[in-house]
Each structure stands twice: as C-alpha cells, then as structure tokens.
Amino acid sequence: VEFLNDANFTCFGRNYEFIATAKTWDKAQLDAQSKGGFLADITDSKERDCISSFLSLSYLPKLWIGGKR
C-alpha cells in the first residue's frame, strides 16, 4: 500500500489541505472545522481534475469530501 503525505495546494483560487491520516467522516469534518475550514465540496469536473492533478486518482474514491449520507 502506498501512502501519500499531507499536502497543501490551490485550485481556481481555493485552498485545499490534504491530510493523509485515516479517520472517520465525522472526525475529518471536526478536524477541518477546528482549522477554520470544511471538507471539500467538488462541484464540477474542472475542480475535480485540478484536485486530482495533485493527488493520485486511485485515492479519490477513498477521500472524505463534503457529502455524507
């Protein structure tokens, strides 16, 4: 298994922070809020493509973003 490192990057003027630590959605949301942020809400394919250019595509299905059921 390959692991990514924490990373900060910008797409279309929005700042993103990728945290490589495994955690539940609820804990990820609390961590983001404690830093004044929120989980990403990817709204279109351009944003998705920009984010995926910084992260391996194979990890995208395993990342927590804003949606929760």
pLDDT above 50 (res 62): yes
Give per-residue pLDDT as tens, 19-33.
878 888 899 899 999
Enumerate long-range contacts of 47-54, CB under 8 Å, 24 or more apart. 47/11, 47/12, 50/11, 50/12, 51/11, 51/16, 54/7, 54/9, 54/11, 54/16, 54/18
pTM above threshold 0.85? no
Sign of the dihedral through C-alpha 3, 20, 9, 67: positive
Query: pLDDT tier at 61 (50, 70, 90 boundaries)?
Result: low
Beta strands per DSSP E along the chain: 7-11, 14-18
Phi, psi of 14 (to 5 degrees): -105, 135
